[in-house]
Amino acid sequence: MDDDDYFKGLLDKAAPADVAEYSWYECVEGFKKADRDMGSAFHRKLEWMNRAADTYFANNSKMAGFLGPFSKDTGISYSYASRLNKIRNSFSPHEVKNFSHNALDELLSAPEELQEDFMSSEEPVRVKDVKQAKEGYKKVKDKGNEDLVEALALGTMKPREVAKKAMSRAEEAVIEFNALTEEQKVERLGGVKPVDAALQRKLDETLGDDFNPSNAATGILISLNRLRLFGGQKEIEHHMLGELHRSVRMQKYEAESLLMLADIISKNYDEIASYIEIKPNLKVVN
């Protein structure tokens, strides 16, 4: 049974008088009113908090310690009271009329000029609007946006306008860059930088402080065994030599290491071969 069948079944079971029919417009308007009521409730909270702050100051001749008793007596957490207090101290009651609690919370960390631009708006402001404006405003000083910086300084564009333009340019730049070939991307990023051969050789021949020889040896044996299980001697030969052939910077060192390993195996062949006949002691196996 899908959702439509389930809902139809509920309607069939309900008495005609129990089913209230509303138009889509009425439903949408009802939701919008409820949303506005929630916003109004938040603004009334700020109004009462302002009154409480005035009363606290009148009774104590100081504001220090206000949040403790306020959060306790109102039954809200101290952190929530602290966020409300920041909003209350940052914006006037008239300024916050078009903002939800979350939008004001987000606006607290915006640059001052961006805050002022939002506060001058007569339209309701969403959290999404504030987040996008903050992100775009950070990009205004990126290379290629010198005209936006100048327009902001001259006052010919408002902070939200330059933020929106900078964000649009950044998105277009990403689309344009992703359309390039790999060679063009490398060229755009400044091309391939020359390698200091002496420095690279020194790095290649230097062990890190956390190098553990036992772990390295165990890793080699485990990897070889997995290749053996995958396809035996043929696969070991194919993949080892294939990786050595594809290696560029480390090829010389890896070839020397393989030859050393070959000498060790040749020198200790009989001992290594004897392990094949020995049954493992499972009591000491990790």
Q: 247-268: per-residue pLDDT in tens?
A: 766 788 888 888 888 998 899 9
What is the pLDDT at residue 210?
A: 78
Write down the pLDDT at residue 274.
86
Confidence of residue 17 (pLDDT cuts 50, 70, 90): very low
Look at residue 24 and tell me whether its pLDDT is greater than 70.
no
How much is the average pLDDT of 204-227? 82
The torsion region of residue 75 among left (phi > 0), alpha (psi -120 to 50) and beta comes to: left
pLDDT above 90 covers a percentage of the chain that reads 7
pLDDT score at 100: 66
Per-residue pLDDT band at 64 (split at 50, 70, 90): confident
Question: What would the mean pLDDT of 264-282 be, rounded to a whole number?
Answer: 81
CB 90 within 8 A of CB 103: no
- The lowest-confidence range among 1-5, 29-33, 235-239 is 1-5
| 38 pLDDT above the threshold of 60 | yes
45-83 per-residue burial string, b: 16 or more CB within 10 A, e: under 16: bbeebeebbeebeeeeeeeeebbeebbeeeeeeeeebee
Predicted confidence at residue 253, as pLDDT, reads 81
Selected residue with higher pLDDT from 264 and 32: 264
Structure token pair of residue 163: 């933020």
pLDDT for the residue numbered 212? 85
Q: Residue 147: what pLDDT?
A: 92
Tell me the CA end-to-end span of the chain in Å, nearest whole number: 53
Residues 40-57: what's their mean pLDDT?
A: 79
| pLDDT the model gives residue 19 | 47
Q: What are phi and psi of 15, to 5 degrees?
A: -70, 150
pLDDT reading at 142 higher than 60: yes
CA distances from 203 to 208, 249, 253, 256, 285 (A): 9, 11, 12, 17, 37
Rounded percentage of the chain residues whose pLDDT exceeds 70: 77
Instruction: Kindly tell me if the per-residue pLDDT of 98 is higher than 70.
Output: no
Using 50, 70 and 90 to split pLDDT, how confident is the model at 216?
confident
Which pLDDT score, from 0 to 100, does residue 94 have? 54
Average pLDDT over residues 121-145: 86
